Amino acid sequence: MLSKNVETFIACDCDYEQAKTVLFGAPFDSTTSFRPGTRFGSSAMRGESFGIETYSPYQDKDMEDIAVMDSGDIELCIGDTEKVLAQIEERTRIILQDGKRPMMIGGEHLVTLGAFRAVAEKYPDVHIIHFDAHADLRDDYLGVKLSHACVLHRCWDIIGDGRIHQFGIRSGERAEFQFARQHTDIHPFSVEDVASTVKTLVGKPVYLTLDLDVLDPSIFPGTGTPEAGGISFDELRRAVTCVCSCLNIVGCDVNELSPHYDMSGVSTAVACKIVREILLAME
Amino acid sequence: MLSKNVETFIACDCDYEQAKTVLFGAPFDSTTSFRPGTRFGSSAMRGESFGIETYSPYQDKDMEDIAVMDSGDIELCIGDTEKVLAQIEERTRIILQDGKRPMMIGGEHLVTLGAFRAVAEKYPDVHIIHFDAHADLRDDYLGVKLSHACVLHRCWDIIGDGRIHQFGIRSGERAEFQFARQHTDIHPFSVEDVASTVKTLVGKPVYLTLDLDVLDPSIFPGTGTPEAGGISFDELRRAVTCVCSCLNIVGCDVNELSPHYDMSGVSTAVACKIVREILLAME
Amino acid sequence: MLSKNVETFIACDCDYEQAKTVLFGAPFDSTTSFRPGTRFGSSAMRGESFGIETYSPYQDKDMEDIAVMDSGDIELCIGDTEKVLAQIEERTRIILQDGKRPMMIGGEHLVTLGAFRAVAEKYPDVHIIHFDAHADLRDDYLGVKLSHACVLHRCWDIIGDGRIHQFGIRSGERAEFQFARQHTDIHPFSVEDVASTVKTLVGKPVYLTLDLDVLDPSIFPGTGTPEAGGISFDELRRAVTCVCSCLNIVGCDVNELSPHYDMSGVSTAVACKIVREILLAME
Amino acid sequence: MLSKNVETFIACDCDYEQAKTVLFGAPFDSTTSFRPGTRFGSSAMRGESFGIETYSPYQDKDMEDIAVMDSGDIELCIGDTEKVLAQIEERTRIILQDGKRPMMIGGEHLVTLGAFRAVAEKYPDVHIIHFDAHADLRDDYLGVKLSHACVLHRCWDIIGDGRIHQFGIRSGERAEFQFARQHTDIHPFSVEDVASTVKTLVGKPVYLTLDLDVLDPSIFPGTGTPEAGGISFDELRRAVTCVCSCLNIVGCDVNELSPHYDMSGVSTAVACKIVREILLAME
Amino acid sequence: MLSKNVETFIACDCDYEQAKTVLFGAPFDSTTSFRPGTRFGSSAMRGESFGIETYSPYQDKDMEDIAVMDSGDIELCIGDTEKVLAQIEERTRIILQDGKRPMMIGGEHLVTLGAFRAVAEKYPDVHIIHFDAHADLRDDYLGVKLSHACVLHRCWDIIGDGRIHQFGIRSGERAEFQFARQHTDIHPFSVEDVASTVKTLVGKPVYLTLDLDVLDPSIFPGTGTPEAGGISFDELRRAVTCVCSCLNIVGCDVNELSPHYDMSGVSTAVACKIVREILLAME
Amino acid sequence: MLSKNVETFIACDCDYEQAKTVLFGAPFDSTTSFRPGTRFGSSAMRGESFGIETYSPYQDKDMEDIAVMDSGDIELCIGDTEKVLAQIEERTRIILQDGKRPMMIGGEHLVTLGAFRAVAEKYPDVHIIHFDAHADLRDDYLGVKLSHACVLHRCWDIIGDGRIHQFGIRSGERAEFQFARQHTDIHPFSVEDVASTVKTLVGKPVYLTLDLDVLDPSIFPGTGTPEAGGISFDELRRAVTCVCSCLNIVGCDVNELSPHYDMSGVSTAVACKIVREILLAME
């Protein structure tokens, strides 16, 4: 008897009961102010993930040996931002309630707010580690508060000063950098301070949010607002491996892949490889 | 003395006071359910319009001889659909109040609602002529009422039965076709009935809304949801020339060009040529 | 409890037991002599199928009302053509044995041979209706017998003279056209003779093989060897609807979509729409 | 012993002495006012020509049976328009002096002037049959006389009134259409008058210049200034077959393919197929 | 009252009278010997510049605080190289005469000659700082003296030995490198010597010409002749910031962006960011 | 008298008798498991090679001074892997028998097996230097032994332990890395050990096989399975220059360029530049 076509991120095919980590996609990009297309990020990654191997020679670990399940994309109410965030929050809450770790694939960066609301509810003392080219700290963008450009400001509304640790930031308004110096733990331009930050967070619940445009656009052109001067793949790989293998990651997301802007497929392959390294490092 | 760079749709450079028709762009695509990108339609058309001539051998008229002004794109509050529609309505109202005819370039089809609200306010007895591949008559789309897929239903909410004349429709839910048979004047698949419909509308105020995907995707691939089996360029050109030269067009829009999906530039060139023919026919 | 991500062609999500027609993909293109890429055809169609509606206004039928199941792509032994054909034959045989109709999505045209071997085994008196730009009647191609360019010759090896009905053929070697005049029922250039051929086949078992490049490349550019001068979408739609609603289709395939060659997505959307019309017409 | 890599247009590999027709490429696009890229036309066609067959089922003739030789692209002095035209004229003159027929592949349309100068020198009573979307009859373009937009005016400077027969023209300045009505034999929009024009030219020396943008951009998007509303492939195929099989073609050119604008390869394949039909019809 | 659509490079919208620096585009690429397309560089940069911020965290300066005006593209006489250069020279001269600094956006590198003629007229003792992958020192290219491949040789014709300082050069004929060793101050492969060169030029008038292909094609693929082994974005950013903040820049240009060759938009974004850093550093 | 169009890799136009190195293309990609397209590698490189210079400033050598001949692509029996390998072996054998050095341009990596069979026959004590992102050491891939993923295992079948020196490997199954540790001389992730390996091989016959995906995909996106974390162009350039100038290279190949996946042309230009450096270093 034949079964219906199942398509998961490579090797994320264990059953829900056994899964320690549960993936889902949040294909939303409606507040994107410049070039949209991240809504195709998660589905592109599923298809392209079969171009990488399940084994990581960096960590000498294999996806075949860990328990991850891909629960697919949420069917979002495109056009109503609040409803979309509520849908994301609900999916995250279910996974957390079942004692599993949520891993969300965006979509634009605003989707982080939905997942983080559920995470912060369960872990009120959670910290955020944030890799990004952009500060995302505006209070509003052209009058809109629920915008990708404001997402870390919205998270700060929830957890307050000193709990957001930002790395690789190299773009923003002057006011955002001023806000960061007062309210967040910002490390502009590079990720060289990650290891020392990690030491201070050992044992605490940590949410990891990775905007892939922290990478240099030479290796990750498939994104809406490419910012030259970013970090290399190996720098990011080492940083996320350090974060995920040393800390208690209670939830994470990887976002801002816009696959149509890089028809070579490289950006999608890079995103898949980083997700593999994160998944392997967390276990 | 040098002046700042002015970029208008070709030959739409008369001053506002002299202008009879005023163009503007509405770069919005946030409710697009499938593939976004129409936000780039109006700016792409400005650049590409210099690849066509100002003279139409079809009508033996020249853009140099008519008074059109391109007032640029509205800077929209991406992420808040109601605000976006209010901004569009406001721009349209200004143009109408100054006794000029508004011509909007989308953007996704939902932008029509903003412009039409202002038009229906001034002309309560207005009719709509609607060219499209899709019926756009859903009452809601995944629970969202302000969606491109519902835009003609929202217009019907304003003007009611028998005043929406639809041509070329070849896609929709079963329920939309049922709704159309009861509430609109639908002519599926083709535009062959345009001339006879035009005869019944002579002298009445008419709003023209043209979703360019009414064209066959062979000639217009640059759109989010291409539907094979559409009409040819010459059929559309003749239909809009008939409508615009015979009727009292009090406002119009041309939408759903998503230029990045057609890197040959043909779709954008086609959109420009249709806009030229419409502008020439209306004067 | 969340379930693993299931991705099927739109509305082809009934269970195997209930299904009357069972879809599967055959992502193979290794004998392609010019430009490869059809291996991505079936997976591209699954994703893009959500851009079309389940309802067909042409036939006034809805996919929601029929029983089709998408069993996914076969994982093929790329590099060994005979094994690949055996795998396809096996999947087809299972579906036939369970009293269901197989519908295969290619891949290159050679995949037809695998499916047809199983079909001809069960229905020795089967006829083939073949839509294509190319005759595909070579005996060998550069010495290779199992080549996409020879696939109808290989089918003829099985069923012999007068049982292959070819439409739309407009390219081939001189020798292929000579072979066709002696051994097949060829109707070059157009599909206008389909209706009269259909009349002669009523009640007989028929296998439909559709090489999408029978379409004009203006509407279907996404294929390896585009041949100008093809038929229109409406001509193909009417022809397949006629064939599938009037005849006893015991199996069918749709092949030669190479999605990467048409980045507008139009070719994939066209393929999806034709598959929808075929599925609706068969029931 | 191995020989150096020879790459010709398909089956155009006979030796110079035996050749009746000699192909060459003129990879020039420096006066292109809108989007350049036609310089890649001839080399793209050589590579892509192996995707078509040598046999034409339309004419039941085979390239294997005729004597054509591809002498490659001229290495042009890019940046100096007059030198470029002189180089083209010289290559054409050599071919004519050796009693062979020159067939040039552009490049932009201005290259016609170089070839035509040599042709008109040998055949002072030559007529021109011109297929194009654009009239190309300006006297100058932004002050430049040697421009693609002026090329037929420059030819008219040589042969004067009544000897240029234009078909398919659908774009130009008002002044160009006025000039045409006085000085050329213009048939705008279509090619339906070709057969009757051919009758009047039987026995006379004729130069055929084919700007491929006479085709509708649905089938030929790969060109710098696409103009919707063009003729179909079959209309062009029939027209050039009629011209080339009935008349004394003393030289011809095919130009304005800009392959990079159509990454599907369809435009290049269309150009190859038309060249094949021309070559077969001339013999 | 609505005003006509004004499109400038981001934040370059001050009035001419107040402007200290005046931008203009020179959309010319007719002598490009390999792949054309730089004519679209300046207009692409205007549109894409709104994807970057006006604030530079590198320099802690903001475009909102400086006085730059974008006077648009010159409408060039495509097809007549000398006229084109004269037009560019004239625009530059006006800006210089009004006591402002000209900043030109190409176009191919030959446009530098037009601007430099006007600059050298006003500042006979001017030096050139030249960043490029290619030496551009040929005396002629296939017999043509006014070619992009000769542009620095033409500048040397004006100012002679020792006044051209070249960085990053990694491609050229053997003869060009020999010429450079005798006549220019060449620093091949890297920009590490920039700081020491800058020290020797303090107080002198300097013209900066930046061929963006000095960047590695990994970060700047959108150019006609990509040369691997180039410098990184941060190396270039630091080099131009050093040059522009320490020296008396009397004019500058940034050229050779060919946006169509990089559909991800990264190259255009990189060009915009470098222009922002140059503009901020100069003030 | 005109000659037929000859197209070679730049400056590889000496006659066979004089040639010391003979190039040929092997346009095969039928066992490619993920994304095909390398069959276009060799022909794309011929065209694009004219964008680089014949002179290398790195080595101060010029292609004009060495004797290389490009014998074109083999016309391969697509669809029959064993026949294809036999054809490649035969071409290689001819070149070796004539006392010349074969240089093959792929195609996918499996083509190496064909060439290496002939090389190992003549030089039974040959060593292999292998640059690659992937180990290519599987014994079979989905049951197929003649697969690109197995090619180094097939070479090891011929020459056994300790004679394959692998550099840059960063992807593979766990089992491949285990195999490598036992049977090959593997240097994962980088090329920093090349110089010390070279010292141990001086005077011995060496076959160089270069899978270009050893490069980081930022500089070489045009390949089927991009693997982030690769080496830079300068690292590869130095490594191959070291290998080719210090060792007795009896044959070599460069493969896995898939030009269509990088429409900027950068990948092809990179491949051309590496081939130039290899050819110059070997002489």
> For residue B5, what pLDDT is reported?
94
Which residues in B lie closer than 8 A to residue C218 (C-beta atoms)? 218-219
pLDDT in tens, chain F (283 residues): 899 999 999 999 999 999 999 999 999 999 998 899 999 999 999 999 999 999 999 999 999 999 999 999 999 998 899 999 999 999 999 999 999 999 999 999 999 999 999 999 999 999 999 999 999 999 999 899 999 999 999 999 999 999 999 999 999 999 999 999 999 999 999 999 999 999 999 999 999 999 999 999 999 999 999 999 999 999 999 999 999 999 999 999 999 999 999 999 999 999 999 999 999 999 8
> For residue D106, what pLDDT is reported?
96
Confidence tier at B33 by pLDDT (50, 70, 90): confident
Give me the phi and psi of B27, to 5 degrees please.
Answer: -80, 75
Q: Give the closest-approach CA distance of A221 to chain F in angstroms.
A: 9
Pairing of strands F55-56, A127-131: unpaired
pLDDT tens digits for range A215-272: 999 999 999 999 999 999 999 999 999 999 999 999 999 999 999 999 999 999 999 9
pLDDT tens digits for range B220-247: 999 999 999 999 999 999 999 999 999 9
Q: Where do the H-state alpha helices sit in chain B? A: 41-48, 81-97, 111-122, 151-159, 174-183, 194-201, 233-246, 266-282
Share of chain E residues as helix, strand and coil, in percent rounded to the nearest 5: 40, 20, 40
Query: Is residue A161 predicted with pLDDT exceeding 90?
Result: yes
Q: Give the closest-approach CA distance of A89 to chain F in angstroms.
A: 32
% chain D with pLDDT above 90: 96
Q: Which residue has the higher pLDDT, E35 or E87?
A: E87
* Orientation of helix B151-159 relative to helix B111-122, angle to 10°: 10
Q: Give me the residue from A2, A6, A15 closest to C16, CB to CB.
A: A2
For chain C, the chains sharing at least 3 beta-carbon pairs closer than 8 angstroms are A, B, D, F
Chain D residue closest to C213 (CA)?
Answer: D266
Residues C176-196 have a mean pLDDT of 98
Residues E52-79 have a mean pLDDT of 96
User: How far is the C-alpha of D127 from the C-alpha of E124, rounded, in Å?
Assistant: 56
Dump strand ranges (E) for chain B: 21-26, 55-56, 61-62, 68-73, 101-106, 127-131, 164-167, 185-187, 205-211, 248-255
Residues E19-43 have a mean pLDDT of 95
Beta-carbon separation of B177 and C57 below 8 A = yes
- Residues of C near B (Cβ–Cβ under 8 Å) read 50-55, 57-58, 60, 62, 216, 218-219, 233-234, 237, 262-266, 269-270, 273
Select the CATH number that applies to the domain covering D21-282 from these four: 3.40.50.2000, 3.40.50.700, 3.40.800.10, 1.20.1530.20: 3.40.800.10
Query: Is residue D14 predicted with pLDDT exceeding 90?
Result: yes
Residues C120-131 have a mean pLDDT of 98
Specify whether the CB–CB gap between C229 and D234 falls below 8 A: yes
User: How far is the C-alpha of A186 from the C-alpha of A181, rounded, in Å?
Assistant: 7
Find the angle CA(F122)-CA(F125)-CA(F129) to the nearest 5 degrees. Answer: 100
Beta-carbon separation of A78 and B143 below 8 A = no
Query: Is residue E178 predicted with pLDDT exceeding 90?
Result: yes
Q: Give me the residue from B1, B13, B98 closest to E16, CB to CB.
A: B1
Q: Give me the residue from E36, E77, E146 closest to D37, CB to CB.
A: E36
Tokens of D35: 């989007």
Q: Give me the residue from D36, D83, D144 closest to E77, CB to CB.
A: D144
Q: Which amino acid does the sequence have at D44?
A: A
Query: Is residue A115 predicted with pLDDT exceeding 90?
Result: yes
Q: Give the closest-approach CA distance of C95 to chain B in angstroms.
A: 31
Q: What 3-state class would DSSP assign to A279?
A: helix
Beta-carbon separation of A6 and C4 below 8 A = yes
**Residue D248: Cβ-neighbour burial (10 angstroms; 0-12, 13-18, 19+):** middle
User: How far is the C-alpha of E31 from the C-alpha of E84, rounded, in Å?
Assistant: 11
Query: Is residue D283 predicted with pLDDT exceeding 90?
Result: no
Which residues in E lie closer than 8 A to residue A169 (C-beta atoms)? 57
Answering whether pTM is above 0.95, one says yes
Query: Is residue D72 predicted with pLDDT exceeding 90?
Result: yes
Find the angle CA(A220)-CA(A224)-CA(A227) to the nearest 5 degrees. Answer: 60
Which residues in F lie closer than 8 A to residue D42 (C-beta atoms)? none
Query: Is residue C85 predicted with pLDDT exceeding 90?
Result: yes
Query: What is the Rg, in whole angstroms, of the alpha carbon atoms belonging to chain C?
Result: 17
Beta-carbon separation of E172 and F218 below 8 A = no
**Mean of per-residue pLDDT scores for chain C:** 97
Confidence tier at E267 by pLDDT (50, 70, 90): very high
pLDDT tens digits for range B52-75: 999 999 999 999 999 999 999 999
Beta-carbon separation of D273 and C35 below 8 A = no
Those residues whose C-beta lies under 8 Å from the C-beta of residue B191, and which sit 6 or more positions away, are B131, B167, B168, B214, B231, B235, B236, B239
pLDDT tens digits for range A53-105: 999 999 999 999 999 999 999 999 988 999 999 999 999 999 999 999 999 99
Which residues in C lie closer than 8 A to residue F78 (C-beta atoms)? 30-33, 141-142, 144, 147
pLDDT tens digits for range C126-139: 999 999 999 999 99
> For residue D117, what pLDDT is reported?
98
Residues E255-266 have a mean pLDDT of 96
A2: closest CA among B31, C100, F197? C100
- Residues of C near D (Cβ–Cβ under 8 Å) read 34-35, 169-174, 177, 188-189, 216-219, 221-222, 224-229, 261-263
Query: Is residue E34 predicted with pLDDT exceeding 90?
Result: no
First to last CA, chain A: 35
> For residue B193, what pLDDT is reported?
97
User: How far is the C-alpha of E217 from the C-alpha of E209, rounded, in Å?
Assistant: 19
Query: Is residue B79 predicted with pLDDT exceeding 90?
Result: no
> For residue C154, what pLDDT is reported?
98
Beta-carbon separation of B142 and A77 below 8 A = yes
Beta-carbon separation of A34 and E57 below 8 A = no
Specify whether the CB–CB gap between E42 and E27 falls below 8 A: yes
% chain B with pLDDT above 70: 100
pLDDT tens digits for range D84-138: 999 999 999 999 999 999 999 999 999 999 999 999 999 999 999 999 999 999 9
Q: Which amino acid does the sequence have at E25?
A: G
Specify whether the CB–CB gap between F155 and F128 falls below 8 A: yes
Q: Report ipTM for this prediction.
A: 0.96
CB-defined contacts D:E, below 8 A: 66
Confidence tier at A34 by pLDDT (50, 70, 90): confident
Beta partners for residue E217, in sequence order: none
**Alpha-carbon torsion angle E232, E238, E243, E249, nearest 10:** 90
> For residue A4, what pLDDT is reported?
93
DSSP 8-state symbol, C163? -
Q: Give the closest-approach CA distance of F264 to chain E in angstroms.
A: 5
Residues A16-41 have a mean pLDDT of 95
**Mean of per-residue pLDDT scores for chain A:** 97
Q: Give the closest-approach CA distance of F277 to chain A in angstroms.
A: 24
CA D62 to chain centre: 21
- Name the residue with tokens 């079936």: C42
User: How far is the C-alpha of A216 from the C-alpha of A229, rounded, in Å?
Assistant: 6
Find the angle CA(B191)-CA(B194)-CA(B195) to the nearest 5 degrees. Answer: 135
CA atoms within 13 A on the CB side of B45: 34
pLDDT tens digits for range C227-283: 999 999 999 999 999 999 999 999 999 999 999 999 999 999 999 999 999 999 998
Tell me how long chain C is: 283
Beta-carbon separation of B144 and A83 below 8 A = yes
> For residue E209, what pLDDT is reported?
98
